[in-house]
Chains A and B, each alone.
Chain A
């Protein structure tokens, strides 16, 4: 069976003035469909760069990235955009909702960009609003929503195209503990439904919930630890 994601010797170098920073150095990683992975590590360890490379937002300088068996490192920018549109969902720490659009419009945005029929869009948005408990908030703009609601809108948006891979960068970083837990449970529920979930976080408690924990330092994966999900699922 082909892995969902296979990174082979991925390297990413940034030039800051005279100094050269190896954000990623020879990263090898294999992710099977449906995995729940946390990526932890100190600032500058390359977590975000790894996430960006996985999400096709950033191009590696070295190595190969196979997504569902297909080499995506050599794709053109527009082909990568198509892959992002269909296969990958992003959840950001600061939500990144478009302020002038309502919750429903924000959720529909990926489908608008993908050129879906508006009838299809409306049906999916309604379903998502109901599913994420946002039905009452459909016509509210982001500044009229609470932090937890905003992140739920963002997650609804990230999953509306039914991606196979969900990438979350500090999804609870801007939320209080209770709302953060709620968001995490939501993400875990999506994972339970089959979506591969990769969470980048500083939060040890959040990181420990994942079935597989990656620990990064200096652009390399230092620890790759699998644990029994059952012991952490309900604490």
Chain B
């Protein structure tokens, strides 16, 4: 039998039973669509996180209080066991590291912000003038915190775009006062709206000098120290130097964690890739189910078409021809269903993007290829048994049934 004839025969057989064909293709389509859409979600999450991380500033080295990994025994281990807090002096000391460009201390607290009779819970960040460069903020109005002594800050405040809109909906914010607790801050700048970054929505932040924030929250510790390396190549040296300086300051004990943005990014990237892979695996189960359905339907089809198979044998079809005809039919139905499912999956991903524009839900190429490939593979694999059954049918008994 010629290949084109085989194809035409399979198409004819598929069209001969439209309901069966439609159901089978639907099952395959749902499987592939699940793979495409779910991996689009997973990979979208990965891209989203990667983008968010990139948004918090480049060449960034972040210092956290406390140690999250074992560093072996050092002299400090015998002296104390509680980690020291990070202080503003720690932050200041990092400025002398050669690989470091800028340092911005960070302390964080939530408080009630009041202005013109309006009250709002908000996140107050204490930092210094360097923060604008380190975090690459842009000003919408006014200016950022002035350069001044880190220990003697003025009662000045920078607010995010959303905070501005809520506290001063109909008036200029610059020059106005915001009350936090028993302190009054003069608003000197409004940040440009950027959306979120690293879990902190900068649009909702209120930034004040670090010393004032510490006094307000009655603490002398820092939440983080943000360090900007001189350039990309200086990230690793900066990390080493920062660790070294802080170890010296903390009596030789390594009680801080220094992470680079790249490391975090790589971790999240890996994590979310694995997640996507897992999700794809779960979706692939539906493909396997679809494959079993193909087998089931083809087996029923062989049973229903016994007399046709018997006839084909009587007309001189070899076992190979009949096996081929059924395999081609299974492959055809699977691949059509898979293509249909691919379109469906793309539509699903497009729908997600339309509903959540910030979420870049595009299916990764590998998932698309794997999905289509698996669909075709399972379709053919599960078509083998029915096709063999068909080829082995005894023509006499097959023809006897009407």
Contact = CB atoms under 8 A, between A and B. Distances in A.
B313 A81 contact: yes
Contacts of A96: 307, 310-311, 314, 399
B396 A114 contact: no
Contacts of B308: 98
B289 interface: no
Given A77-B319, A78-B320, A100-B16, A55 B314 contact: yes
Given A92-B399, A100-B16, A82 B314 contact: no
B12 A85 contact: no
A161 B317 CA distance: 13
Contacts of B9: 112
Given A100-B16, A113-B321, A115-B1, A57 B395 contact: yes
B15 interface: yes
Contact of A100 (B13, B307, B395, B399): B13
A34 B401 CA distance: 31
Contacts of B314: 55, 57, 84, 90, 96
B294 to A, nearest CB: 20
Contacts of A61: none
Contacts of B2: 112, 115
Nearest to A109: B315
Interface residues of B, number: 26
Nearest to A105: B12
B316 interface: yes
A81 B317 contact: yes
Nearest to B16: A100
A58 B397 CA distance: 10
B312 interface: yes
Contacts of B311: 96, 98
Contacts of B312: 109, 113
A52 interface: yes
Contacts of A60: none
A86 B308 CA distance: 19
A113 B307 contact: no
B16 A113 contact: no
B219 interface: no
A115 B312 CA distance: 13
Contacts of A99: 16
A94 B12 CA distance: 22
Contacts of B16: 99-100
A78 B13 contact: no
B402 interface: yes
Contacts of A78: 318-320
A90 B315 contact: yes
A81 B318 contact: yes
Give the interface SS of chain B, mostly helix, strand, loop or mixed. Answer: helix
Interface string B276-320: 000000000000000000000000000000011011111111111
B144 to A, nearest CB: 77
A190 to B, nearest CB: 17
Contacts of A92: 399
A78 B312 CA distance: 13
Nearest to B320: A78
Contacts of B313: 57, 81, 84
A57 B400 CA distance: 12
A62 B395 CA distance: 20
Max chain B Cβ within 10 angstroms of own Cβ: one of A77, A82, A85, A113:
A113
A94 B5 contact: no
Nearest to A55: B314
Nearest to A108: B5
Contact of B315 (A77, A100, A110, A118): A110
Contacts of A110: 315-316
A109 B12 CA distance: 13
Contacts of B395: 57
A55 B316 CA distance: 10
Nearest to A157: B315
Contacts of A86: 316
B12 A100 contact: yes
Given A98-B311, A100-B16, A112-B1, A57 B396 contact: yes
A198 to B, nearest CB: 15
Scoring A58, A98, A99 by chain B CB atoms within 10 A of each residue's CB, the highest score goes to: A98
Interface string A100-132: 110000000110111100100000000000000
Contacts of A114: 1, 316
26 contacts: A57-B313, A57-B314, A57-B396, A57-B399, A78-B320, A81-B313, A81-B319, A82-B318, A84-B313, A84-B315, A85-B315, A86-B316, A90-B315, A96-B314, A100-B13, A101-B12, A109-B315, A110-B316, A112-B1, A112-B2, A112-B9, A113-B1, A113-B321, A114-B316, A115-B5, A118-B5
Give the top 4 A-B pairs by smallest Cβ distance, nearest first.
A85-B316, A100-B16, A81-B318, A78-B318
Given A81-B319, A96-B314, 16 more contacts: A55-B314, A57-B314, A57-B399, A78-B319, A81-B317, A82-B316, A85-B317, A90-B315, A92-B399, A94-B402, A98-B311, A100-B12, A110-B316, A113-B315, A113-B317, A161-B316
